[in-house]
Structures are given as structure tokens and as C-alpha cells.
């Protein structure tokens, strides 16, 4: 696909029906409105993250889809960490789109029909360190202003559709003023 060389596009789609760290590459995934990735353990109307359920009880699922930009893998490779799409638990791996700089409420139009709205940042956890020792320090940084999280973004599905590697991504920014994506702690 020649347009995808410079345009924002998908480079991998992944899911896993079990609560494990990494997700398995797929030919395509189906995004289901108000639910998430069909067949994925984190799909559902309520948050499926086991730690969140234990600590906060049932909450609306603002983490239906996890996205990471493939440029992160490129940067981590230079630091000695080889990663493939899905290994950090993301459902969608992108290229040519700085996900971390998009504001909350950004809508990503994926492929022909699917639309995701970004809700927040993924919080890097100890499982990342267990997956590859030394990796966590590259995905979170402590600064005087607070933590900087680099492990991707979370979103909810607004419109259903199939997405696959090579699909283009169109970005629809929310109305001004924009708010930065943050890690959203579920309400108690």
C-alpha cells in the first residue's frame, strides 16, 4: 500500500481471549461498538482489568482498545529491547501517528468503518518488567511534574468495524480547548 508509507496506518492487530500479558497477531480484528475487540479478554461494557476490578469494583470500560505506535518499538530496539506488535498487550499497532501527543477525545477512524475515541494513557505496570527485565524504565519516567507514561493509549469503540494491518487512520480532533491524555484511575 503506497499511501501508507507516509500516512498514519495500522501495522498490526492483535487479541487474546485470556488474561495474559501479550496478544496474538491476527489477520484482522473486529471492533464492536461500546464493547471493544471481539474475542479479547479486555472487551466488555465494564473494565475487565483484574487489578481494577479487585481495587475499584465494576466500572465503565474506558480501556476497550489499547494502541501503541510502532515507533516506540524502533526506539526500544536501540536500547536493546526487541519487541513485536502485540507483545506489550496492545490490540492495534500504528505507524506515522504520535498517539501520545493526541488530546483526550480524539477520534481515530480505522479502515472503512471503525471509530475509536481515545480516553487515556496506559499505565506501565510491573508485568512489563517481568516480560523483559529493564524495559519498564524506558516506558515510564518520573519528572517534577509527575509521571510520563509511554506505553500507549486506551480508547473506546464508537463505531464497529473490521481493522487490519495496512488500514489507514484518519484523525478527528475534539473541539478546543484540548485536554492532554492522562492515566485515568477508576472512581472508587
Encode pLDDT of 15-54 as tens digits: 999 989 999 999 999 999 999 999 999 999 887 777 766 7
**Contacts with 143 (C-beta within 8 Å, 6 or more apart), sequence order:** none
Encode pLDDT of 154-186 as tens digits: 999 999 999 999 999 999 999 999 999 988 776
Report d(CA 11, CA 159) in Å as an integer.
20
Kindly indicate the confidence band of residue 75, based on its pLDDT and cuts at 50, 70 and 90. Answer: very high
Residue range 72-86: mean pLDDT, rounded: 95
Alpha helices in the chain (DSSP H): 50-56, 70-78, 126-131, 136-139
**What are the sequence ranges of the domains in the chain?**
2-172
Which residue, among 152, 154, 113, has the nearest Cα to 31 in the 3D structure?
113
Task: For the sheet with 36-37, list strands across it.
Answer: 36-37, 28-32, 161-164
- What pLDDT is recorded for position 108? 98
Encode pLDDT of 179-188 as tens digits: 999 887 766 5
pTM for this one? Answer: 0.92
Average pLDDT score over the chain: 91
Which CATH architecture group holds 2-172? Answer: Beta Barrel (2.40)
Kindly indicate the confidence band of residue 78, based on its pLDDT and cuts at 50, 70 and 90. Answer: very high
Kindly indicate the confidence band of residue 2, based on its pLDDT and cuts at 50, 70 and 90. Answer: very low
Of 37-51, 72-86, 142-156, highest mean pLDDT: 72-86
Bridge-based pairing state of the strands 9-15 and 92-95:
antiparallel
Task: For the sheet with 107-110, list strands across it.
Answer: 24-25, 9-15, 92-95, 65-69, 153-159, 114-121, 107-110, 169-172
CB 159 within 8 A of CB 73: no
Report d(CA 15, CA 180) in Å as an integer.
27
State the distance between the two ends of the chain, measured CA to CA, in whole angstroms.
46
Amino acid at each position: 500500500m503506497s499511501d501508507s508509507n507516509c500516512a498514519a496506518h495500522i501495522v498490526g492487530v492483535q487479541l487474546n481471549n485470556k488474561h495474559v500479558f501479550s496478544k496474538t497477531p491476527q489477520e484482522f480484528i473486529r471492533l464492536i461498538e461500546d464493547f471493544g475487540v471481539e474475542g479479547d479478554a479486555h472487551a466488555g461494557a465494564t473494565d475487565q482489568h483484574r487489578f481494577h476490578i479487585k481495587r475499584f469494583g465494576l466500572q465503565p470500560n474506558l480501556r476497550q482498545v489499547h494502541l501503541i505506535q510502532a515507533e516506540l518499538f524502533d526506539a526500544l530496539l536501540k536500547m536493546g529491547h526487541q519487541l513485536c506488535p502485540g507483545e506489550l498487550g496492545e490490540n492495534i499497532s500504528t505507524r506515522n501517528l504520535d498517539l501520545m501527543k493526541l488530546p483526550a477525545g480524539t477520534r481515530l477512524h480505522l479502515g472503512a468503518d471503525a471509530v475509536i475515541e481515545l480516553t487515556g494513557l496506559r499505565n506501565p505496570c510491573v508485568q512489563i518488567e517481568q516480560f523483559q527485565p529493564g524495559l519498564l524504565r524506558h516506558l515510564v519516567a518520573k519528572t517534577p511534574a509527575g509521571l510520563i507514561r509511554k506505553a500507549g493509549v486506551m480508547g473506546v469503540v464508537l463505531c464497529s468495524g473490521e481493522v487490519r494491518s495496512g488500514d489507514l487512520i484518519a484523525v478527528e480532533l475534539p473541539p478546543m480547548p484540548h485536554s492532554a491524555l492522562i492515566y485515568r484511575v477508576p472512581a472508587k
